Amino acid sequence: MMKISSKLLSIIRQNKSFLIVCHINPEGDAIGSILALAYGLKILGKKDVCVLSRDGVPETLKFLPSSKTIKQTPPKKVFDVLCIVDCNTLERTGFKDLKARNTIIIDHHILPDDADKSELYRKLSASVIDPEAAAAGMLIYRLLTSLKIPIDKNIATNLYTALLVDTGGFHYSNVSPESLAIASHLVEAGARPWDITKELYESVPLKRMELLGLSLSTLDSKDRIAWIITTMDMLKKTGTTAEDTEDFVEFPRKIKEIEAAVFLREDNIDLFKISLRSKGRVNVEKVAKSFGGGGHAAAAGCRIKGTLQEVQNKVFKAIRKELRIK
């Protein structure tokens, strides 16, 4: 387990104003993590804490404590500390110009190959980057406990949500003794597993189910790869948005014989958002990275320009290469 550096702890203890930001198109780990960090800093006595998400809070996560405090536009001021959470590049936050005297990164994704050459990393004050961690929420938990901040019900609810989402309800291969131990402590601290599960997985709007039905009608498989597609026409027909496609990739992943699952979402004319999942044999992070994306070995994503057929051909060819299928 990667420990929190004394330098990072000192930066937090010695400064007063904090800007906390997550990645674009945030999910439970991102939102739960930044909210939990904000709660912890306030318990520590930090009064000037701003929580930022360019795309706001997904509808399914608005039940989280203090979700309404998240801003979509950064204040025009220079903060003491910028905390980039659940991503490791400024580009992934969706913002170009966030001003702070110190910058820290708290993330569990694999670093870009050129990270050491970027301006962000040259000026980085401190970081905790652990690709072995199942969720960014685990790193926030380590940080808060290292700062001896008590885990209250609000922090516990946010962090349990972070863990639940990024472990797929504790059934992905990234589940570890540490993640389960943390989850246990969060429940003891006041997180209510069934209430959180209901909000995340048992409160789906009818229109989202209609969108899922249309998308599943495209289900197909070949060469141990299974996929489904959501088009702009489907979104328009059901009155849904891209946000409503969260976790659609998990459905082709369930098929017994397949090794990799692909979800293709049409975001614009000749532009597709690709979500990738693996059962172990395919490193989908490597596949996503070849198209400018990233993620984890078992879960990754990217965006690719081209027609549907062109994009499918590119993605499937890259996966077949990993599977050593000609």
* Model confidence pLDDT, tens digit, residues 54-112: 999 999 999 999 999 999 999 999 999 999 999 999 999 999 889 999 999 999 998 88
Q: What is the pLDDT of residues 25-45, one digit of tens each?
A: 999 999 999 999 999 999 999
**What pLDDT, on a 0 to 100 scale, did the predictor assign at position 112?**
80
pLDDT for res 3: 86
For 199, counting Cβ atoms within 10 Å of its Cβ (0-12 exposed, 13-18 middle, 19+ buried), the class is: middle
pLDDT in tens, 122-148: 889 999 999 999 999 999 999 999 999
Q: What is the pLDDT of residues 110-126, one digit of tens each?
A: 888 777 667 888 889 99
Torsion angles phi and psi, residue 211, rounded to 5: -65, -40
Place of tokens 């090794």: 259
pLDDT class of 269 with cuts at 50, 70, 90: very high
Which pLDDT value is given to residue 307?
Answer: 98
Distance CA 190, CA 156 (A): 6
Contact 174, 300 (CB under 8 A): no
pLDDT band at residue 325 under the 50/70/90 scheme: confident
Distances (CA, A) of 62 to 56, 88, 157, 183: 10, 25, 12, 21
In degrees and rounded to multiples of 5, residue 57 shows phi and psi of -115, 125
Q: What residue segments make up the domains of the chain, in order of their start? A: 6-200, 207-323
Q: DSSP code of 242?
A: G
Quote the pLDDT of residue 119.
81
Q: What whole-number distance in Å separates Cα of residue 149 and Cα of residue 145? A: 6
pLDDT of residue 117: 66
- Of the pLDDT bands very low, low, confident and very high (cuts 50, 70, 90), residue 326 is low
**pLDDT > 70: what percent of the chain?**
99
Mean pLDDT of 227-237: 98
| DSSP string computed for 52-76 | E-TT---GGGTTSTTGGG-BSS--S
Residue 240 has pLDDT above 70, yes or no: yes
Q: Please give the CATH number for the structural domain made up of 207-323.
A: 3.10.310.30
pLDDT at position 122 is 84
**Whole-number pLDDT of residue 120:** 85
- pLDDT(173) > 80: yes
**How confident is the model over 175-211, as pLDDT tens digits?**
999 999 999 999 999 999 999 999 999 999 999 999 9
The single-letter code of the amino acid at 70 is: I
Whose tokens are 């670093």? That residue is 111
- Cβ atoms of 193 and 187 closer than 8 Å: yes
Strands 220-222 and 126-129: unpaired
Q: Which helix (H) or strand (E) holds 303?
A: strand 299-305
CATH fit for domain 6-200, picks 2.40.30.10, 3.90.1640.10, 3.30.70.60, 3.90.226.10 = 3.90.1640.10
User: What is the overall mean pLDDT for the chain?
Assistant: 95
